[in-house]
Amino acid sequence: MSDDQIMHSGIITEINRDSILVSIIAESACAACHAKGFCSVADQKEKIVEVNRDHKTDHKIGERVSVTMQRAMGMKAVLYGYFIPFVILMITLIVSIKVTGKEGVSGLISLLVLIPYFFALYMLRDKLKRNFVFKISKLQSETNLNYN
């Protein structure tokens, strides 16, 4: 894997005519820490990733695979999903506090402003799917490791 790609291993959960659904375990940054068993901060969540199906390769449900994405696309996803909403929220909060002078109302307004943004993302999901391309490949069989 090159430095310009993000890779996760996963298991195929569903195969459709045009797509394959892969279950991956998304780990927080501290999930690789040696003390994660003693820490309540370590976080693992199961995510389902939809990958366009390549009819040249044969995959089976339950098969372990590797899902890769270009790092630039991952950064773009963070931009759309976290950074832009944060900027919208903060600008709306600051402006509405200046206008209304009420923090509670301003907080509610700034949260409500995010509804049209996320609705627009939802409406553009098909276009975004074409931009965010995942690639799938079979994992190599795991080698026997000697831990002596």
pTM more than 0.75: no
Ordered DSSP codes for 130-141: HHS--EEEEPPP
Question: Which segments of the chain does DSSP mark as H helices, in order?
Answer: 71-78, 84-100, 103-123, 125-131
The DSSP secondary-structure symbol of 145 reads -
The pLDDT profile of the chain, 148 residues, written as one tens digit per residue, is 567 888 888 888 888 888 888 888 766 555 556 555 555 555 567 788 888 777 677 888 888 888 888 888 888 888 999 999 999 999 999 999 999 999 999 999 999 999 999 999 999 988 887 787 788 888 765 444 444 4
User: Which tokens sit at 97?
Assistant: 């506090």
CB 43 within 8 A of CB 27: yes
CA dihedral sign, ordered 80, 83, 86, 91 = negative
